[in-house]
Amino acid sequence: MPDDDLSLSEKRMYGETRPETHAYVASGLGVTRVETAGGQVGRFSLEHRCTARDVAGSNGEVAVATDESVLVSTAEGFAATGFGPATAVGYDADGLLAAGDGRVARYAHGEWEPLGELSGVRAIDGDLLAAADGVYRLPDCAYDGLDDAADATPGYAATSAGLYEAVDGEWAETRTGPHHAVAADGRRVHAADGAGLYERTAEGWRACDLPVAERVVDVTHGDDTYAVTEDGTFLVATDDEATADGRGGWRRRSLGVPEVVGVAVA
């Protein structure tokens, strides 16, 4: 049996057990769940058919923005929430957020509570929103600077002009040129432009040694670092000591899904 056809539990028979993570890839085909643990990429399956525009995860829950609704994961699958067409979803300390059709709202107690009116929102993470005309900040959707923002995460914003870092309350350029994805978790920072994926180190920005020459469209953090390309290749990077064979770095698995837009872990 080919190694890629083994489940992660079967692979772990030959090494120490590692925590398993389910990653969720959003694409034009729908939401694909990918099993990953200890740097290994296991089985994957299409969990829900839809036209996904964004995906986010937090505290065991996954949310998906689609051209019809915002979906949230349940024990029975993904369920619609009544938001309507959405372009972005995200989480902050108080729960799920969504944007679409010129509005931003929070999902609480089974209902959507409006937070403000804002068009062209492309990404939500924490209290930041990346939009066509700049970065905005919650809870009141106040303009926070920059222009043409593709992605934002607390402390960083990716725009068509460059990658910016928040320094003393102001945005300072940390990488030049158009960037379309950024993720930070307080320990790791990764960002993507048209040429590759980069990691912030003590010495500055370093290009990631990826096993494919494909455009990375999104990156996120969990037990490991996860990324996905527009061609549907799932990537995971693990530290040496966290792998069964003691060899970390980036590993890949082709998912065969079109129009990939994002990746999330819950």
pLDDT tens digit sequence for 138-173:
999 999 999 999 999 999 999 999 999 999 999 999
Which pLDDT belongs to residue 241? 62
pLDDT recorded at residue 120 = 97
Low-confidence spans in the chain with pLDDT less than 70? 1-18, 240-247
**pTM, 2 dp:** 0.90
Q: Where are the chain's structural domains?
A: 3-265
Report, at the CATH architecture level, how domain 3-265 is classified.
Answer: 6 Propeller (2.120)
Helices (H), the chain: 8-11
- Contact between 156 and 167 under an 8 Å Cβ cutoff? The reply is no
pLDDT at 14: 34
Q: What is the pLDDT of residue 195?
A: 95
CA distance 207 to 144: 29
Backbone dihedral angles phi then psi of residue 17, each to the nearest 5 degrees? -65, 135
Whether 81 contacts 107, CB under 8 Å: yes
Q: What is the pLDDT of residue 13?
A: 31
